[in-house]
Amino acid sequence: MSSSGGATGFKDTGVEASRLSNLSDVLSFRNAGVFYALVTILLIFTVWVQLIGKNFYLGAANVENILEQAASPVGMMAVGMTVLLISGNFDLSVASNGAFSAMFIAVSVEHDLFGFIGNVEVEVIVILIIAILLACVGGLINGLVHWFVGLNSFIVTLGTLSAFRGMALLISGRQSITFRNTEHGEFMERFIGGDIGEFNLFLLVGGVLIVVAALTFLTGRQMAAGVCAASGLALIVLSFLVDYSTEISHKLVVLVTLVVATWAVMTYTSYGRRVYAVGGNLEAAKAAGINVGLYRVMCFVFLGFCCGLAAVTMISKLQSVEPNLWLTQELFVIASAIIGGVSLLGGAGSVLKTMAGAILLTVLTNGFSFLAFPSEVQLIAVGLLVILSASAYVVAGRRAIAKGKI
């Protein structure tokens, strides 16, 4: 038999075909659809705003506004929600849990509950740490009841959604609390609520992409790493040509750190692989010796941690809390994950794509506000986007299965 590629039909096999397949898979709608949608919506709003004669939509000031809106609470909570969804569960109580944590901080400051410490800076740090731990306890309660009692996570967290909200109302006396221009508030702003300085966004995003590319390369996904590296280098070069500087807040730094750390853990560690295994096939995970109860409960706790982190960064900046803080925001948290392609059945999803989904949602609401559309239209658009995104991923998944790619 001839070894000629044309004679045997083996011309398109081997390393080169594998690379092409890898690239097409990386750029497929199933894997990159949320990024295509984000770019498309950004272009639509940019052209639309330009046509009606308003300021440039993607100006540095508005981009900063979009990122700030996406960071907390939706962005931070969506990170934890992604991990929990991958494990095969979800949580309806996230916004209420975060609101209770934020209200605890406000009440502690207003009534000087930790004044016995005698040092404002230490008092604030202790209060913030306890607030995060309280949110973790909320997640732990959800996880323990779900696993050991055997209740579906929908039922459990539907109940705690109401319970946590009621606790926030109870400790606040149904009153808003403000502590601006106090020693505690001023230290909170310096500590985590303010800005760290002005930076070029192209340079920062390019740097993050280079880090992601390096980590991706270590897993053997050279083509995906190459796409990230090329994009990062292009943005870094562009940063020297275009002044696209804006203020970067502590909140945004916290979010980026949380996203990168969570993505790295879920991608490169045995913990991450086991979470995917537990969500993908519970019985197979048990047979493999994985303590599935422990991993599911830990995912609830991690989501609680993200809720507490969102509360800390929000209240440190605003220094004001109302009892109905983040009412209905759990819907946007879950929507971010769905738009990012996270499977509600478990075993599939990516924190990076969820963040793209959170930014996409924020762009949508921000763009409609920019164009002075009523809030009713914004809600309709968000609802349709969730349905269309989920439908598109289902169709793309079916096609991939038909082609033997998954």
Cβ of 23: how many Cβ atoms within 10 Å?
Answer: 15
Asked if the model's pLDDT at residue 21 lies above 60, the reply is no
pLDDT digits (tens, 9 = 90+) for 354-368: 999 999 999 988 888
Cβ atoms within 10 Å, residue 177: 21
Residue with tokens 């971010």: 336
Structure tokens at 329: 């925001």
Domain assignments of the chain as residue spans, ordered by start: 71-401
CA dist 315 and 80 (Å) reads 19
CA separation, residue 77 to residues 103, 179, 329, 406 (Å): 17, 25, 10, 29
Q: Report CA-CA distances (Å) from 229 to 179, 236, 281, 329, 400.
A: 45, 10, 34, 34, 27
Q: Report the relative pairing of strands 320-321 and 195-200 from DSSP bridges.
A: unpaired
Beta-bridge partners for 198: 247
Q: Virtual CA dihedral for 207, 209, 213, 216, nearest 10 degrees?
A: 130
First to last CA, the chain: 33
Say if residue 189 is exposed, middle or buried (CB neighbours under 10 Å; 0-12, 13-18, 19+): middle
Number of H helices, E strands in the chain: 18, 4
What residues contact 254, with CB distance under 8 A and at least 6 apart? Answer: 71, 76, 192, 309, 313
Least confident piece of the model among 45-49, 323-327, 398-402: 398-402
Q: What is the mean predicted confidence (pLDDT) over 33-38?
A: 84
User: Is the pLDDT at 29 greater than 70, yes or no?
Assistant: no
The DSSP bridge pattern shows strands 177-178 and 320-321 to be antiparallel
The pLDDT of residue 186 is 87
280-306 mean pLDDT: 92
Contact 71, 135 (CB under 8 A): no
The mean pLDDT of 44-72, rounded to a whole number, is 84
The amino acid at 94:
V
Verify cis geometry, omega within 30 degrees of 0, for the bond prior to 323. no
Tell which residue, 79, 25, 43, 89, has the closest CA to residue 353.
Answer: 79
pLDDT digits (tens, 9 = 90+) for 98-147: 999 999 999 999 888 898 998 999 999 999 999 999 999 999 999 999 99
The answer for residues whose C-beta is within 8 angstroms of residue 314's C-beta and 6 or more apart is 72, 73, 102, 251
Model confidence pLDDT, tens digit, residues 214-268:
877 877 777 778 888 898 899 999 888 888 888 888 898 899 899 989 998 998 8
Q: Does residue 401 come out as left (phi exceeding 0), alpha (psi in the -120 to 50 range) or beta?
A: alpha
**Torsion on CA atoms 345, 346, 352, 355, rounded to nearest 10:** 50
Mean pLDDT of the chain: 85
pLDDT single digits (tens) 264-283: 899 889 999 999 999 988 88
**How many angstroms separate the Cα of 42 from the Cα of each of 54, 329, 366?**
15, 23, 11
* One-letter amino acid for residue 396 of the chain: A
More confident residue, 86 or 209: 86
- Contact criterion met (CB below 8 Å) for 125 and 316: no
Average pLDDT over residues 194-218: 84
